Chains A and B, each alone.
Chain A
Amino acid sequence: MTITNPPRQKVDRDEVFLEYTKSICPVCKTVIDAEVNVKDNRVFMRKRCKEHGKFEALLYGDAQMYFDSMKFNKPGTIPLETQTEVVDGCPLDCGLCPDHKQHACLGIIEVNTNCNLDCPICFADSGHQPDGFSLTMEQCSTALDAFVRSEGEPEVVMYSGGEPTIHPRILDFIQLAMDKGVKTVNLNTNGIKLAHDRKFVEKLASFDRRPNIYMQFDGFNERTHTEIRGRDLRKAKQAALDHCAEFGLTVTLVAAVEQGLNDHELGDIVRFGVQHPAVRSVAFQPVTHSGRHLEFDPMERLTNAEIVHGLADQVPEWFRVSDFFPVPCCFPTCRSITYLLIDGENVVPIPRLIKIEDYLDYVSNRVMPDLDIRQALEKLWSATATPGTEMTQEQLECAVCGIDLPEALKTVTDTAFMIVIQDFQDPYTLNVKQLMKCCVEEITPDGRLIPFCAYNSVGYREEVREQLSGVSVPTIVPNAADLQPVLLTTRYGSKTLERDGNGHTPANATNVGQALR
């Protein structure tokens, strides 16, 4: 008698294969192939570096939301000028190169590396550092000129750092941007200077077109402050906001959100913002695992989906998941926005009054929408929208009165409140597909416009810092749990690879430039 083995059964994969794209090795930054898969209603990226092995990371925490967002994808606009040539392909030619799919809605100029804080979390790897850089008037001017040549009339410039308010020429930089025709200046700050120097706030408020204050504001728990900023800054934040209100400056509260740390404070931040007279918008940014940050698990990070669900859970009386819509100018999974009409006791999300998808669905719409309303909504659902500025107020009025709502609603748009959710890519999650349509660019003093997530993840930040400071800067590697054994701490507090001597990195591992035979 013979024993027959049962026939071998084929088994299905436990995931749905969705996309094939390019990314980088998070360790050596070599460009490699990547695949995107859906498993348990979540979207993941998987990739393999010949030298450093396999990496997997969460891209989006709600696969249905990821699919639904795809139709909110507006055809890109070609900039007036690009700054580089296509040589090695994305993401090595930044930028912008002629293959880039979108113009720059928002240009960021980092004016210094110096900061009056040494936060444990800082994608710019800034702090009290003796070996950084501080832009000259001439360098700032060169950067602005590149932006103007590319955009014509740029909508928004954001001055960042470091800490831009401690740059001795920051007021001149703001004036310079205005003089060159930039419509809105955002000042990205931790608020310390605004809290302690009331005169400085008064000077900011004396510009014809007042800059919007883009202020770090991560929550109300002491632990939130000490873990993210290294200091309890609650009193300083309050004082800074009150000074802004006193002089009529508008403020965007910007929360870096880390899982298990301050993701329970989303609702409280919005409630606080709605009540404070200076605050006109809140931006939630899952902590970017580029630069300096706490140890994290790439498979369990926060994405836009978790923030949207968190807001709907924490403020059910105001929000539903369906109140948030993707921004169509960049890749739709990068950024989501909603607007609220508020009057003290009442709050109404604008998407409950207008069928946003009737206007911003560029893929499956069958009927041509009213173009004026579409244009107004495009401006509102974009990286340039800044509540409180004349332009954004006009778009709000148009969007609200253009539909079948009475004239009286126009008046309540004066107090409209914006909520933005933006998950920046890191070396684990970088997807060239999204990067190619990025509309938020770092403007460098040598006149390049580099997509923000490429700047932070691919190595451009290190390259530019090295150029400007004249000091060698190591390649920064994410502080991921699975990389701990090979990580060394840099002098800025970020992590780099423990070198085995020769600093060898593998060749570009993507299958380009080769043929089978």
Chain B
Amino acid sequence: MTGSEPSAADVKVCCATAYQQDAVALILGESYHPGGLALTRGLATALDLRAGERVLDVASGPGATAFLLASEFGVEVDGVDLGDQAVEKANALAAERGLAEQVRFHLGDAERIPLPDASVDAVVCECAFCTFPDKPTAAAEMARVLKPGGRVGITDVALDPARLDAELQSLAGWVACMADARPVAEYVALLDAAGLRVTRTEPHDDALAEMITQIDGRLRAFRMAKVAALENVDFDTALDRVASADRAVRDGIAGYSLLVAEKA
């Protein structure tokens, strides 16, 4: 990770790498995104997923979303992630859970999705769209792989960069995902420009506040327990970052949103 102004490619690789590290896994715990599996369930319900449908999960990470959609909603899922270890682990986990027939993970880039045109009924993307440096291309790719009438469901950090704390604007570990987040209206416009008409937006700011609280608690507990995997972590700086993220949420500068869009 670099300290100064990062390039677009840096952000993308850094995020994918960071999410694969044990330290990040430790700090974030089981729920890698605000709202956890409950919000994933809410997203699936908002998308009206039906058994047998084919779903693409962009930035599928360790696969928790894909497994939930497959087991609770009976859909087939293709996950795409930029981290090779994450993909490998997720495929192994799919086999372990007996879901290998229903769920597959592929190494790939959100800006060049390795699936054919008009091949999926729905796309989900949780807490990842904001990290994509070339958002118009990522949106266009989602539109390309969707069948006509297909749906997109996104949950993501929404914020006003102009009002954001200077320290949060810099690329820094797991708060990186906030660095290139946009206001909800801009997400709507980005999707619209790709031919994806937004039909629903829901605020879930409490989920973000809760996750920040949890991260703060975990950092403090790890510092107390002197966890070996985190011996190089600068806890004071990390806790300061968490505190400013928390302030941003409480001041209404940062929030978390659920968006559903349809391909015309």
Residues of A within 8 A of B (CB): 320, 322, 341, 343, 346-349, 352-353, 355, 366, 403-406, 408-409, 411-412
B217 contacts A320, C-beta separation under 8 Å: no
Contact A408 B29 (CB under 8 A): no
Query: Bound complex: CA of A353 vs CA of B221, how far in Å?
Result: 8
User: With A320-B213, A352-B213 known to touch, is A408 a contact of B227 (CB < 8 Å)?
Assistant: yes
Q: For residue B226, which residue of chain A has the nearest CB?
A: A408
**Docked CA distance A320–B213 (Å):** 10
- Least distance between B199 CB and chain A CB atoms (Å): 26
Q: DSSP majority for the B interface?
A: helix
Given the complex, which residues of A lie within 8 Å of B227, measured CB to CB? 406, 408-409
User: B228 near A408 (CB under 8 angstroms)?
Assistant: yes
* A interface: dominant SS: loop
What's the Cα separation between A411 and B30 when bound, in Å? Answer: 22
Q: How far does the alpha carbon of A404 sit from the alpha carbon of B214 in the complex, in Å?
A: 13
Decide: B225 and A352 in contact? CB cutoff 8 A: no
**Min CB distance, B208 to chain A, in Å?**
14
In the bound complex, do residue A348 and residue B213 qualify as a contact, i.e. CB atoms below 8 Å apart?
no
20 pairs from A and B in contact (CB 8 Å cutoff): A320-B213, A322-B210, A341-B224, A343-B224, A346-B223, A348-B217, A352-B213, A352-B214, A353-B221, A355-B36, A366-B41, A404-B29, A404-B30, A405-B218, A406-B225, A408-B225, A409-B222, A409-B227, A411-B225, A412-B225
Cβ of B13 under 8 Å from chain A: no
Most chain B CB neighbours (cut-off 10 Å) among A346, A352, A403: A352
Residues of B near A355 (CB, < 8 A) are: 36
In contact, B224 and A412 (Cβ under 8 angstroms): yes
- The interface centre, meaning the residue of A348, A355, A409, A411 with most chain B CB atoms within 10 A of its CB, is A348
CA distance in complex: A403, B214 (Å) = 13
The interface centre, meaning the residue of B213, B214, B217 with most chain A CB atoms within 10 A of its CB, is B217
Answer whether residue B112 sits at the interface, using C-beta atoms and an 8 A cutoff. no
* Bound-state Cα–Cα, A460 to B221, Å: 47
Q: Which residues of A contact B220 (CB under 8 A)?
A: 346-348
The residue on A at minimum CB distance from B37 is A367
Over the window 13-48 of chain B, the binary record of Cβ atoms lying under 8 Å from chain A Cβ atoms (1 yes, 0 no) is 000000000000010011000001000010000000
B214 touches A353 (CB 8 A): yes
- Cβ of B240 to closest chain A Cβ, rounded Å: 14
* Residues of chain B with a CB closer than 8 A to A349's CB: 217
| Minimum CB–CB distance for B158 against chain A, Å | 22
On chain B, the residues within 8 Å of A406 by CB distance are 26, 222, 225, 227, 229
Q: Mark B197-225, 1 if CB is under 8 A from A, else 0.
A: 00000000000001001101110111111
Is the pair A348, B30 in contact by a Cβ cutoff of 8 Å? no
CB-defined contacts of A408 to chain B, threshold 8 Å: 225-228
Mask, B151-178, CB within 8 Å of A = 1, is 0000000000000000000000000000
In whole angstroms, what is the CA distance A343 to B214 when docked? 19
The 3 closest A-B pairs by CB, nearest first: A352-B217, A408-B225, A348-B220
Q: Which of A320, A322, A348, A366 contacts B221 (CB 8 A)?
A: A348
- Closest residue of chain A to B26 (Cβ to Cβ) is A406
Interchain CA distance A353-B26 in the complex, whole Å: 11
Closest A residue to B225 by CB, please name it. Answer: A408
Question: Looking across the interface, which residue of chain A has its beta carbon closest to that of B213?
Answer: A352
Known: A322-B210, A403-B30, A408-B226; 14 extra A-B contacts, CB below 8 A, are: A341-B224, A343-B224, A346-B220, A346-B223, A348-B224, A352-B216, A352-B217, A353-B218, A405-B218, A406-B225, A406-B229, A408-B225, A409-B221, A409-B222
B26 to chain A, nearest CB (A): 7
Q: Assess whether B225 is in contact with A409, with CB atoms less than 8 Å apart.
A: yes
In Å, the complex CA distance between A352 and B26 comes to 14
Task: Please encode chain B, from 67 to 102, with 1 for each CB lying within 8 Å of some chain A CB and 0 for all others.
Answer: 000000000000000000000000000000000000
A287 to chain B, nearest CB (A): 32
Whole-angstrom CA separation of A355 from B229 in the bound complex: 23
A409 to B221, CA, bound (A): 7
Report how far A347 CA is from B216 CA in the complex, Å: 11
Query: For residue B31, which residue of chain A has the nearest CB?
Result: A355
Closest-by-CB residue of A relative to B235 is A346
| Cα(A172)–Cα(B5), bound, Å | 74
Task: Contact check, A353 vs B30: say whether CB atoms are below 8 A apart.
Answer: no
CB within 8 Å for A412 and B29 given contacts A352-B213, A352-B216, A353-B214:
no
- Alpha-carbon separation in the docked complex, A347 to B29 (Å): 19
CB of A313 to closest CB in B, whole Å: 16
Cβ of A353 and Cβ of B217 under 8 Å apart?
yes
Once bound together, how far apart are the Cα atoms of A406 and B221, in whole Å? Answer: 10
Asked if B221 and A412 make an inter-chain contact with CB atoms under 8 angstroms apart, the answer reads yes
Complex Cα distance, B26 from A172, in Å, reads: 51
Q: Give the residues in chain A near B30, CB-CB below 8 Å.
A: 403-404
Q: A408 to B214, alpha carbons, bound, how many Å? A: 18
Closest to B28 in A: A404
> Given the complex of chains A and B, what is the CA–CA distance between A487 and B224 in angstroms?
56
Chain A residues whose C-beta falls within 8 Å of the C-beta of B213 in the assembled complex: 320, 322, 352
Contacts of B229 in A (CB 8 A): 406
Residues of B within 8 A of A411 (CB): 225
Complex Cα gap A412–B224 (Å): 8
A346 to B217 CA separation, bound complex (whole angstroms): 10
| Residues in B whose Cβ lies below 8 Å from that of A403 | 29-30
Residues of B within 8 A of A346 (CB): 220, 223-224
B31 to chain A, nearest CB (A): 8
In Å, the complex CA distance between A405 and B227 comes to: 10
Q: Among residues 127 to 159 in chain B, which have CB atoms less than 8 Å away from a CB atom of chain A?
A: none
The residue in B36, B210, B222 that gathers the most chain A C-beta atoms within 10 A of its C-beta is B222
**A384–B176 CA distance with the chains assembled, in angstroms:** 44
A397 CB to nearest B CB, Å: 13
